[in-house]
Amino acid sequence: MGILKDVFDEAEDLAVKLHHQPKGYAEAALDTLADIADSIGCGSVLLCSGTAAESRLIEEVDGTDFSHSAMIVRLHGHPQLYVWTADTVDKMEDQIHKEANPDHPGTHLLMLDEYLANLDKYYPSPDGSTYRFAVARLHGVDIDEQRLWSVMYHYDGTPFPPTKQEFLHWLEGQADIDCGMLNSFCAQMVANTYQQMGWLSSNHPPNHYNPGSYAKTAKINKEMVGPASLQAPQYFRL
C-alpha cells in the first residue's frame, strides 16, 4: 500500500507541474451564471476544473480541463437551479432531506449558486488558482420529474469513495467491470443517473466514466439514447 501511495503522490506532483489553463481562456470575458441560467435545462452536466493535486491528476489522465462533474437540476420550471453531486462537501444542506444529517458528504442535492460560490473555500488551492466552471447542456429529452426525484432519493447519501479506491474503481470501469453503487465518485453518479433515466446506454457500467467524458461530447453522444445529446461545454463565471 505504501508503494501505491508513493506512485499516486508522484503522479499528482507531475500533474500539478504540467497543468495549464485552456488556451484562450479569459474569465473576465465569460458570461456569468446569471446570464445563462435560463438556458440551462434540467439534466445538463456541470463541469469543474478543481485546484487540488488530485484534481490535476484527473485532468491529466483524461486530457481535459475537468476533474469534477455533476448534474444540474431544475424542477417544475422554477428558476432555482440545483446540483446533484457526489463529493466530500459536508457544510451544505441536502435539499432532499432523506438523511438524518442534512449536511452530509457523499451524494446530495445542493443549491447550485451556493455550491459554486463556496468550492474554492471548501477545497483551497495550494497555488492560488481558482475553480473554472462549464456546462454541457442536455437536449432531446422530456424530463420525467417523478422518476428523476425517485432516482435521486434512492441514491441520496451514497458515500464518496477514498481517492485511491476512486481511481481503482475507474480503472475497473475501463475493463467494463461494474464496481456497484455502494459508494460512488462524481462522474459515476452522473452516469448512473443518466442510465436510470434512460438517457445513456448501459453498454458500460457507471464507473467507466470520468468527468472529462461529458466534455467529449462527440464521443459520449454516440452512447446517448434516442435524441438525447450533450452540447459542447460552455465556460461561465460567477
Question: What pLDDT does residue 58 have?
Answer: 80
Residue 231 pLDDT: 98
Quick one: pLDDT at residue 200?
Answer: 98
CA–CA separation, 168 vs 151, rounded Å?
Answer: 25
Instruction: Identify the CATH number of the domain in which residue 193 sits.
Output: 3.90.1720.10
pLDDT score at 65: 93
The predicted structure's pLDDT at residue 6: 64
Q: Quote the distance between the C-alpha of residue 166 and its chain's center.
A: 13
Cell of 67: 476533474
Q: What is the pTM of this model?
A: 0.93
> How far apart (Å, rounded) are the C-alpha atoms in residues 131 and 119?
7
Residue 163: strand, helix, or coil: helix
Cβ(115)–Cβ(85) under 8 Å?
A: yes
- What is the C-alpha radius of gyration for the chain, rounded to an integer number of angstroms? 17
Low-confidence ranges of the chain (pLDDT < 70): 1-18
Other beta carbons less than 10 A from residue 177's beta carbon: 12
CA torsion sign, 110 to 111 to 113 to 114? negative
Q: What is the pLDDT of residue 126?
A: 80
Beta carbons within 10 angstroms of residue 175's beta carbon: 8
Which pLDDT value is given to residue 51?
82
User: SS3 for 118?
Assistant: helix
Name 58's bridge partners: none
* Structural domain that includes position 151: 2-236
Domain count, the chain: 1
- For 71, the grid coordinates are 448534474
Three cell numbers written together for 38:
435560463
